[in-house]
Chains A and B, each alone.
Chain A
Amino acid sequence: MSEAIPRRASTLAVSPTPSPVASFWQLALRRFLRHRVAVAGLLVLVAISLMAVAAPVLAPHSPTAIDASGFQAAPSAAHPLGTDSVGRDVLSRLIYAARVSLTVGILAVAMYVVIGTTVGAIAGYYGGTVDLVLSRTMDVMLSFPPLIIILFAVSVFGRPSLWNVIIVLGLLGWPPVARLVRGQVLALRQQEFVQAARAVGATDRVVMARHLLPNAMAPVLVAATFGTANAILIEAALSFLGLGVQPPTPSWGNMLTDAQSLTVLERMPWLWAPPGFMILISVLTINFVGDGLRDALDPGLKL
């Protein structure tokens, strides 16, 4: 594909001239900043991300080091949140586990946003039989209860691990995004700027990549935000069941596994309450941010 065509097509057809009025994204930012809960959520989220990045500095111990002097020890000066069933420091594991959750959330969602956007754009742009086949495929995949098909796939895909979870979520999560992009592309396809781009000889790929997708991205961004929250929840559930991230690697989900024993549940709340709250806080704040983004990007949308 020649480089000249897309450039010429875009200057002729869309002309993103900076207008004196605020741009779409500036307006969106202004609306987002007015959503106080979302801004607060974003701040907490930034704090959690910083904690994940600075884990080696913040954690008092190594997350995998075993303190031979005691397992399931109650909180003390040396171990502010006590030690787990093997004698590892709970606070350090809690801090390091943020890395796992954020990695899964971001990578799995990035993967399925790319797949979903591609599939949705193709289905919406070409229509006809292509659309029929792709749309039915989406319907089929959406018929499987989310956790059950993921459990099935994870158990089939060899040994459970962090990467296993990311790949399974990434490969199975795309249909809602594809459906969203397809709808956007269908609506945009008939608009004049797209017809103009085609008239000046832009190829299908250029029309899709330059003219359709940038205009379809706002709802995808919202869906991706809620998707990240959901991916973190699913990773936690899988790891809790022993089918996700495996110890000694700490994950908020696998830190709760021990609480399936009633003795641990009743006598050692420091083992399971903190990771549970961390999951809740990170998922809740991401959902708040998603809500703010939805209000900011698509004021017409309800719920």
Chain B
Amino acid sequence: MARYLVRRLLITLPILLGITVLSYFIMALTPGDPVQMLIDPQMTQADREIRRRALGLDEPAYIRYLKWLNELAHGNLGYSFSSGVPVTRRVGERIGPTLTLTVTALALSYLIALPTGILVAVRRYSAVDYAATLFAFLGISLPTFFLGLVGIYVFALRLRWLPTGGTMTLGGEGGLFDLALHLLLPASVLAVAGAGVLTRYVRSSMLEVLGQDYVRTARAKGLAELLVLRRHALRNALIPVITLAGLQIPGLLAGAVITEQIFEWPGMGRLTIEAINQRDYPVLMGITLISAVLVAVGNLLADLAYAYVDPRIHYE
């Protein structure tokens, strides 16, 4: 396990490095210089001159990249064009709401996918199975923004059950219930796309386990079907499904951009759109970089979790 951990980390490091190279490359296409963006615009002219020389703006591209990388390693993601605030602070204050939204959505999609997936695996080729397949296809085919708009139209404007957007009632007292009320619609919209695919995974994982010899043995020794399902099949079927959570991160972060925009949710996704509209490239790069790192780390954790929970897996 320790050796696997080390090896897996060694694979992740060059990927993280590659993420910075690609980000730097796209940044280099923008007007302005990626290195220059690391200098605090609120410094005095003389201080900025010193910084500029320290960062070596006249040096060849690869040296500039290395210096830029060094600043990154010390937590300097540059300064926002529009407000002069460090990018780390601007993105930092938006990570909380995005995490609240995406984690809720992830929990919701598992809440939908687990029972549905198990049910359709047990009742294979029944009407429920076909309905779930259709739902999975709808999930990947519905544009997030359209689903969001329909959600607002039905639940907020017509039925008036839920708020149209934001995180708390204006002039209200806030509180957990108020937050949950505001969270329900955007999180559900974000959960739908993932839930459909996840249901398919639960189904095929469950079907695979149900075909195993130990399930037949359990049935043969006369165990009640429910016990067979719960004790023998479900536990094993869940292993690959639970570790899938790490692989959901890219989709969730991408979906959050649209969902946050529609529901006026003050997270990283909404910041992305703001940064694009203000041509605030340092902020945009910071978000891209941070989300890619989140994905790489998510993949790493998914692999480790898999190796941890499934003793059958040996990595030499």
Other-chain contact of A140, B19, B200, B276, B287 (Cβ < 8 Å): B19
Decide if A157 is an interface residue (CB 8 Å cutoff).
Answer: yes
Q: Across the interface, do A276 and B146 meet the contact criterion of CB distance under 8 Å? A: yes
Q: How far is the CA of A139 from the CA of B150 in the complex (A)?
A: 36
Decide if B211 is an interface residue (CB 8 Å cutoff).
Answer: no
Q: How far is the CA of A269 from the CA of B279 in the complex (A)?
A: 32
Q: How far is the CA of A144 from the CA of B251 in the complex (A)?
A: 10
Query: Which residue of B is nearest A241, CB measured?
Result: B273
Q: Across the interface, do A148 and B288 meet the contact criterion of CB distance under 8 Å? A: yes
Decide if B243 is an interface residue (CB 8 Å cutoff).
Answer: no
Q: How far is the CA of A303 from the CA of B262 in the complex (A)?
A: 31
Q: Across the interface, do A156 and B143 meet the contact criterion of CB distance under 8 Å? A: no
Residues of chain A within 8 A of B261, CB atoms compared: 241
The B-contacting residues of A in range 135-194, CB under 8 angstroms, are 136-137, 139-141, 143-149, 151-153, 155-157
Interface size on A, residues (CB 8 A): 44
Query: Which residue of A is nearest B140, CB measured?
Result: A287
Annotate A245-266 by CB proximity to B: 1 below 8 A, 0 otherwise.
Answer: 0000000010010011010011
Question: Which of A22-30, A51-59, A195-203, A229-237 is the contact stretch?
Answer: A229-237
Annotate B270-311 by CB proximity to A: 1 below 8 A, 0 otherwise.
Answer: 001100100101001101100111011001000000000000
Q: How far is the CA of A140 from the CA of B201 in the complex (A)?
A: 25
Decide if A74 is an interface residue (CB 8 Å cutoff).
Answer: no
Q: How far is the CA of A157 from the CA of B293 in the complex (A)?
A: 23
Q: Across the interface, do A265 and B153 meet the contact criterion of CB distance under 8 Å? A: yes
Q: Across the interface, do B164 and A262 meet the contact criterion of CB distance under 8 Å? A: yes
Residues of chain B within 8 A of A110, CB atoms compared: none
The B-contacting residues of A in range 244-300, CB under 8 angstroms, are 253, 256, 259-260, 262, 265-266, 269, 272, 276, 279-280, 283-284, 287-288, 291
Residues of chain B within 8 A of A157, CB atoms compared: 29
Residues of chain A within 8 A of B144, CB atoms compared: 237
Q: How far is the CA of A101 from the CA of B258 in the complex (A)?
A: 19
Q: Across the interface, do B150 and A302 meet the contact criterion of CB distance under 8 Å? A: no
Given the known interface contacts A136-B15, A139-B15, A283-B141, the answer about A155 and B153 at a Cβ–Cβ threshold of 8 Å is no
Query: Which residue of B is nearest A155, CB measured?
Result: B276
Other-chain contact of A269, B153, B291, B292 (Cβ < 8 Å): B153
Annotate B53-88 by CB proximity to A: 1 below 8 A, 0 otherwise.
Answer: 000000000000000000000000000000000000
Q: How far is the CA of A282 from the CA of B153 in the complex (A)?
A: 23
Residues of chain B within 8 A of A100, CB atoms compared: none
Q: How far is the CA of A140 from the CA of B284 in the complex (A)?
A: 18
Residues of chain B within 8 A of A139, CB atoms compared: 15, 18
Decide if B145 is an interface residue (CB 8 Å cutoff).
Answer: yes
Query: Which residue of A is nearest B11, CB measured?
Result: A139
Decide if A121 is an interface residue (CB 8 Å cutoff).
Answer: no
Q: How far is the CA of A155 from the CA of B219 in the complex (A)?
A: 59
Task: Name the distance in Å between B30's Cβ and chain A's nearest Cβ.
Answer: 5
Q: How far is the CA of A55 from the CA of B257 in the complex (A)?
A: 33
Q: Across the interface, do A143 and B141 meet the contact criterion of CB distance under 8 Å? A: no
Q: Across the interface, do B157 and A265 meet the contact criterion of CB distance under 8 Å? A: yes
Q: How far is the CA of A237 from the CA of B260 in the complex (A)?
A: 13
List residues of chain B with CB under 8 Å of any chain A CB.
Answer: 14-15, 18-19, 21-22, 26-27, 29-30, 137-138, 140-146, 149-150, 152-153, 157, 164, 200-201, 204, 249-251, 253-255, 257-258, 261-262, 272-273, 276, 279, 281, 284-285, 287-288, 291-293, 295-296, 299
Query: Which 5 A-B pairs have CB atoms at the shortest separation, nearest pair first?
Result: A140-B18, A147-B254, A276-B146, A284-B141, A145-B253
Jot down 19 A-B pairs with beta carbons below 8 A, ordered by A: A136-B15, A137-B18, A140-B18, A143-B292, A143-B299, A144-B250, A144-B292, A147-B255, A148-B254, A149-B288, A156-B29, A229-B140, A237-B258, A241-B273, A256-B146, A279-B143, A280-B142, A284-B138, A288-B137
